[in-house]
Structure 1
């Protein structure tokens, strides 16, 4: 309960920081400022807590105490050794005057300098390849912050002061990580279509992760891969359901640089050590990655951009990811290119779960050929239809396709979860009850009337390898038979009621009088018309 309370306090402080910027720019822009400055505070506070622990073998009472102790230690003869040790521990070093604690103090005393904050960002970026170009999206000199140097500087100082109220000293990584996740979700809600670039709704993330991790929860050194990782939230879900979260290795790739930076910050804020995260800024389809020491993974999780365009150049037919299929996903719809990329990187005993539009289940031509080959190879394990309007960037219904690399059977489980949702103002949501219901159907792997159907390969072959869910799960509800005698009795009763009301209305009209002859003539005409 304390963790939840801490998390709420943290969220309210961070969200009030957003209020400072909300009137100046849209959410897709101010999220970079807010999340970037929160991240710098995290780096600075973590550094001071660690340096104090190294010097005093204890936790500081306040960050100011830690800063004072650090300043004193730097005057001594062991200063160089301390700095070198901190660099090894943290992968970066922050000078006393560039700590967030100092910046907040300067902001309160109206002597804050944007130049110093920019220098602090630059130092972090240059300290280790882990942090290269991490703060690129934060323009401390943007006109959006205000007109003129003073107003711009005041806006940044206000943000620094507000975020300083967040108590990271007494918040563990789960609390901070959850607060960060909440903010990312709120930004997704505010940015609408842009949110598709960086956010998968938590309900969908939970289903994907629970399915992909099933049977692997106790595995030490679990490897997770998301080739379209957005802000990294989907990857990080594995931490929630693993019994050995400290040993998970995370691999992720993201095309959009600002979103890639968000994912890197998100990893650190969730306490993921640098050795366990390998993230890359790049185009997943154009150039295969990873190609080094580890190329296949226990879990592959994906929510790629739907029906995106890609080059589909002939050379890709020689690419190991696609060469077995003889055809390529069409230029106008890269859905199967993403799916095959993920499957290629899946371990033989692993599980992959990907979200895609329903078209991949029944479209023909090249996609039909790829789908048939996957089904003949037994790669498609389950198809789950999700409710419409779950995502911020599209209202279309989507489905989850679950894939396995090598298995004995070729049966496919179909689940229709399209009705399992709560209607919301902007988006529909799936509750934990809905999610558990889907997972239970998946784990049972059997036919349940109107909810799921376990199709043998022969069923699918008869359907020409069309995987459209209504072909397998019959959700048709037979309408109740109408009793004609009851219906006639109801109609007669309604007619009698109408006649009674009409009679009362005419009596009321007849009581009306007027000295105006024309009004009385009109009134009498109306009464005659109603009486018929």
Structure 2
């Protein structure tokens, strides 16, 4: 076990001290058998990034507040750990909240992809491992036959540690999480390319100065600009799929309309029938960012030659801190996705011809126009819409500054 040192009350302690204290004073057999095993299997992970390792001490300090004496099943322990992750994500929304995706959005993406027993699932930016865990739980809820083959990667050692602990608590083989920068392309052709039935990801938005030197194995539609790695993550995900594979990835607004090499990649994806649907998510719905985002649903080859666009803003429960999707909203969105019906102000299927006329722009608001009901709307609702539009304008202005800056570099 790592002997990394941290400060507590002015004195240096090691992670070993923290773990032994928790187990000795508060631990049950379940606690020791699961958490201690996770730590013992992650020496290299812990030792490789001491600054981020401080988060682990915070996790253990939070865990000691709970009683584990009556915990005899993995399920209850898993629920506790999931709550803890969401707690940390909300408490740190302004700094690094990306590591954990809200549960409603995770549930929506997994339910639409509908994992089956025996399938293989991949997440190239797995963060805390929530997509992988939810996919496994989905299979357990819907079938009694077997499980999933799971592979998650993350460039952050401390996040990989959290993911390893998360999957282990939920009864998934613990060596399925790797510390690796997927954009380097290391091992892609032998271990990733064409191997997976489904893939999900919430990668960092518009990562700058990314290393694309070894990524030629999956940058088959083109090389994205150094100012934004969004389409590198998208292609890494897309080309991990087998012939019948499907995928979902969370992306920022700019992915849908930016020009240059990104437009060329987007056009190829559409012409090759890789894009099945785009769902827009309102602002204030993700940890760590107030901007709007979107979910791209991809396939190796779509059955339909139309792309489904859904504006999901009306499905979210509004909140000043974080908008949420509840269980009922997830079910309604899944039914809407499956039906592929045109509904004014909510959903529309768009042909390739119309997409070409619109210069291969995938912005949902270009195709799904809100139903006009100004006279019936309350002042609070209008104010909310104005705030959302102002946030989107601010995001577009930031995108323009970033693109101008990249031209000057």
Identify whether the pair has TM-score above 0.5, normalized to the shorter chain.
yes
* Conservation of the 8 A alpha-carbon contact between 2:132 and 2:167: no
Q: Which residue of 1 aligns with 2:169?
A: 269
Q: In the alignment, is residue 280 of structure 1 matched against residue 182 of structure 2? A: no
Q: Matched residues in 1 for 2:182 and 2:252: separation?
A: 19
* Equivalent residue for 2:202, pick from 279, 303, 311: 303
SS at match of 2:233: helix
Deviation for aligned residue 1:197: 4.2
Deviation for aligned residue 1:396: 0.3
Q: In the alignment, is residue 321 of structure 1 matched against residue 218 of structure 2? A: yes
Deviation for aligned residue 1:478: 4.5
Q: Matched residues in 1 for 2:136 and 2:74: separation?
A: 12
Q: Matched residues in 2 for 1:477 and 1:160: separation?
A: 48
Q: In the alignment, is residue 205 of structure 1 matched against residue 106 of structure 2? A: yes
Q: In the alignment, is residue 373 of structure 1 matched against residue 268 of structure 2? A: yes
Deviation digits for residues 489-511 of structure 1, max 9, x if unmatched? xxxxxxxxxxxxxxxxxxxxxxx
Deviation for aligned residue 1:426: 1.6
Deviation for aligned residue 1:407: 3.3
Deviation for aligned residue 1:260: 0.7
Q: In the alignment, is residue 444 of structure 1 matched against residue 345 of structure 2? A: no
Deviation for aligned residue 1:437: 2.0
Change in Cα spacing, 1:414 to 1:391, as seen in structure 2 (3 Å) is: same
Deviation for aligned residue 1:220: 2.7
Change in Cα spacing, 1:289 to 1:355, as seen in structure 2 (3 Å) is: farther
Q: Which residue of 2 aligns with 1:3?
A: none
Change in Cα spacing, 1:41 to 1:235, as seen in structure 2 (3 Å) is: farther
Q: Which residue of 2 aligns with 1:227?
A: 124
Q: In the alignment, is residue 237 of structure 1 matched against residue 134 of structure 2? A: yes
Q: Matched residues in 2 for 1:353 and 1:416: separation?
A: 16
Structure 1 unaligned blocks of 5 or more: 1-22, 26-30, 50-89, 91-99, 101-119, 146-154, 482-532
SS at match of 1:267: helix
1:473-484 superposed matches below 5 A: 473-480=368-375
Deviation for aligned residue 1:162: 4.4
Deviation for aligned residue 1:425: 3.5
Further displaced range: 369-378 or 444-453: 444-453
* Conservation of the 8 A alpha-carbon contact between 2:90 and 2:287: yes
Q: In the alignment, is residue 185 of structure 1 matched against residue 91 of structure 2? A: no
Deviation digits for residues 119-176 of structure 1, max 9, x if unmatched? x89x963xxxx4333554799xx9xx9xxxxxxxxx99x96994683126x4311111
* Conservation of the 8 A alpha-carbon contact between 1:383 and 1:413: yes
Deviation digits for residues 392-424 of structure 1, max 9, x if unmatched? 200001000000002343210000112322222
* Conservation of the 8 A alpha-carbon contact between 1:378 and 1:406: yes
Deviation digits for residues 202-236 of structure 1, max 9, x if unmatched? 111111111222xx4xx331211100000111211
SS at match of 2:182: coil
Change in Cα spacing, 1:198 to 1:311, as seen in structure 2 (3 Å) is: closer
* Conservation of the 8 A alpha-carbon contact between 1:384 and 1:400: yes
Change in Cα spacing, 1:362 to 1:182, as seen in structure 2 (3 Å) is: same
* Conservation of the 8 A alpha-carbon contact between 1:375 and 1:410: no
CA RMSD between the two structures: 3.7
* Equivalent residue for 1:194, pick from 95, 117, 131: 95
Q: Matched residues in 1 for 2:311 and 2:16: separation?
A: 38
Q: Which has the higher contact order (CA 8 A, sep 6+)?
A: 2
Change in Cα spacing, 1:339 to 1:41, as seen in structure 2 (3 Å) is: farther
Deviation digits for residues 87-123 of structure 1, max 9, x if unmatched? xxx9xxxxxxxxx9xxxxxxxxxxxxxxxxxxx89x9
Q: Which residue of 2 aligns with 1:132?
A: 43
Deviation digits for residues 253-297 of structure 1, max 9, x if unmatched? 0111111111111111111134xx521101110134454456421
Structure 2 unaligned blocks of 5 or more: 1-7, 377-409
TM-score normalised by structure 1 residue count: 0.60
Deviation for aligned residue 1:340: 0.4
* Conservation of the 8 A alpha-carbon contact between 2:279 and 2:294: yes
Q: Matched residues in 2 for 1:379 and 1:186: separation?
A: 36
Q: Which residue of 2 aligns with 1:395?
A: 290
* Equivalent residue for 2:235, pick from 323, 336, 340: 340
Which structure is larger by alpha-carbon Rg, 1 or 2? Answer: 1
SS at match of 2:332: helix
Deviation for aligned residue 1:35: 9.0
Q: Matched residues in 1 for 2:62 and 2:304: separation?
A: 58
SS at match of 1:454: strand
* Conservation of the 8 A alpha-carbon contact between 1:376 and 1:410: no
Higher fraction of helix: 1
* Equivalent residue for 1:463, pick from 343, 354, 358: 358
* Equivalent residue pairs, number: 357
Deviation digits for residues 55-74 of structure 1, max 9, x if unmatched? xxxxxxxxxxxxxxxxxxxx
Higher fraction of strand: 2
